[in-house]
């Protein structure tokens, strides 16, 4: 196992910058938010730890990329920001990918994110991806396919049994497609991937500073190790992009975890998509994350 541990000064610069304008912006954050974000460069922090690489197949090793600090994020000329007329995030179940989403994007949409049970292969040289996003077009896609507990078994019902050629506008092949059992682990994994891809659409690139939701993941084990939370550097980027109170954001997340009911109809292998009854929201796997949020709130409200 390899640990990527940056110096205190490197992390401080990545978070705050040496640009006087950006330093001034940081100093205008309230005291609680600065306390929390400063945990990024505290060696003994129990909230934000270094990145650990467990194998040569992990993302950072197999996909070398230049890191993006806050100043690079802020100065990116291609970064999109929401506006009063484009501030909605649409989530749509589909069978095709980014071009389809771009064509179907509503006028008031900041972004559209598609979800599918089809395994995703962006190009022949890749084994698969959990999700993809276009930073410039405001569209993204992610797949539940590998999150079901039976994906790697012979019982997996989502495998194509017979090759079938269809036109690019014919989506009938996806009718009655396999729906996995909705478990707490599947929901946690899906939340990680969906919010990771939306983070890309807001201009956040893969994080190489600390253990973070915006780390790339090349396989399921690495995706499971990735936390659901943003590190302070990426948190500042997102706050800059859309504006929010960190305290209110974390309180809302705790409320979402504590609310065990689902606001939308769900489906399991025993319940078809036509079933209009609401299903309980499985949040057992979110317990550790809730405890982490409560620790952050204690720092914020000290």
Catalytic residue among 33, 71, 197, 222: 197
Angle of helix 31-38 relative to helix 232-242, nearest 10 degrees? 140
Active site residue 222: no
Characterize 47-60 residue by residue with b for buried, 16 or more Cβ atoms within 10 angstroms of its Cβ, and e for exposed. bbeebebeeeebbb
Q: What is the Cβ-side half-sphere exposure of residue 258, based on CA atoms within 13 angstroms?
A: 9
Tokens of 4: 């990527």
**Contact of 229 with 292, CB cutoff 8 Å:** yes
CA gap 80, 75 in Å, rounded: 11
Query: Please, which residues have CB within 8 angstroms of residue 3's CB and are 6 or more apart in sequence?
Result: 50, 51, 52, 53
**With contact defined as beta carbons under 8 Å apart, do 203 and 73 qualify?**
yes
Q: Please, are residues 227 and 209 in contact by the beta-carbon 8 Å criterion?
A: no
User: Which helix (H) or strand (E) element contains residue 263?
Assistant: strand 261-265
Residues in the chain: 302
Contact 34, 298 (CB under 8 A): no
φ, ψ at 106 (rounded to 5°): -65, 160
Q: Catalytic amino acids?
A: 197
């Amino acid at each position: 196992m390899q640990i990527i541990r940056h110096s205190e000064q490197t992390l401080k610069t990545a978070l705050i910058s040496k640009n006087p304008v950006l330093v001034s912006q940081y100093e205008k954050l309230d005291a609680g938010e600065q306390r929390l974000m400063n945990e990024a460069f505290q060696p003994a922090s129990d909230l934000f730890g270094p990145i650990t690489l467990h194998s040569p197949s992990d993302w950072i090793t197999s996909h070398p990329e230049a890191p993006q600090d806050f100043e690079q994020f802020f100065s990116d000329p291609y970064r999109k920001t929401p506006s009063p007329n484009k501030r909605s995030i649409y989530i749509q179940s589909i069978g095709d990918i980014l071009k389809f989403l771009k064509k179907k994007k509503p006028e008031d949409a900041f972004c559209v994110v598609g979800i599918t049970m089809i395994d995703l292969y962006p190009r022949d040289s890749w084994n698969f991806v959990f999700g993809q996003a276009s930073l410039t077009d405001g569209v993204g896609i992610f797949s539940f396919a590998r999150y079901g507990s039976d994906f790697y078994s012979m019982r997996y019902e989502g495998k194509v049994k017979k090759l079938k050629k269809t036109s690019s506008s014919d989506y009938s092949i996806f009718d009655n497609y396999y729906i996995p059992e909705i478990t707490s682990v599947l929901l946690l994994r899906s939340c990680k991937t969906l919010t990771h891809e939306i983070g890309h659409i807001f201009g956040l690139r893969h994080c190489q500073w600390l253990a973070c939701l915006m780390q790339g993941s090349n396989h399921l084990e690495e995706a499971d190790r990735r936390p659901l939370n943003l590190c302070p550097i990426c948190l500042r980027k997102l706050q800059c992009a859309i504006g929010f109170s960190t305290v209110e954001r974390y309180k809302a997340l705790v409320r979402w975890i504590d609310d065990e009911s689902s606001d939308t109809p769900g489906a399991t292998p025993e319940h078809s998509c036509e079933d209009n009854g609401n299903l309980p929201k499985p949040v057992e796997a979110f317990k550790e994350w809730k405890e982490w949020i409560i620790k952050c709130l204690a720092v914020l409200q000290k």
